[in-house]
Amino acid sequence: MRVAIASDHAAVSLKATLVAWLREAGHDVLDLGPATDARVDYPDYGYKLAEAIASGDAVRGIALCGSGIGISIAVNRNPAVRCALVAEPLSAALAREHNDANAIAMGARLVGEDMAKACVSAFLETAFAGGRHAPRVDKLGAPAFEKEPA
């Protein structure tokens, strides 16, 4: 599976760990940067990640910053992407199963390497359940004013 990954300066170390670990597991990893811990702006890298998913260059994405919050907001600005902020594996699995998330975000200052790996594993190994969740996910891709509550 082709997985895109991007971070800001606060998460470069965790990103490098995850890139190596994913490649060892046989994934094709698109590392969108940055390459060093020089200060950068998380929206720039969140937008790169979202574009990689929206264009089909990657199937799934992993977004990292200090808290995971800022970069998740940036990634979610692209309507083709559903990015869930996660900090433990159950949320990562439910993001896929119920919300068909195609990206997750994590905070490097909040989750350790082992927990990040567990979240990524759950995210990559879980399938979308479809069924009753599909109409709800469809609503996520349309402007709120176009859809009325059922």
Binding-site residues for D-ribulose 5-phosphate, in ranges, read 8-9, 66-70, 99, 109, 132, 136
In the residue annotation, 83 being an active-site residue is answered as no
Active-site pick, 27, 65, 83, 119:
65
64: phi > 0 → left, psi -120 to 50 → alpha, else beta; which?
Answer: beta
In the residue annotation, 133 being an active-site residue is answered as no
Query: How far apart, in whole angstroms, are the C-alpha atoms of residue 27 and residue 68?
Result: 23
Contacts of 83 (CB under 8 A, 6+ apart): 50, 61, 63, 72, 75, 76, 101, 102, 103, 104, 105
Active-site pick, 27, 83, 98, 119:
98
Residues assigned a catalytic role: 65, 98
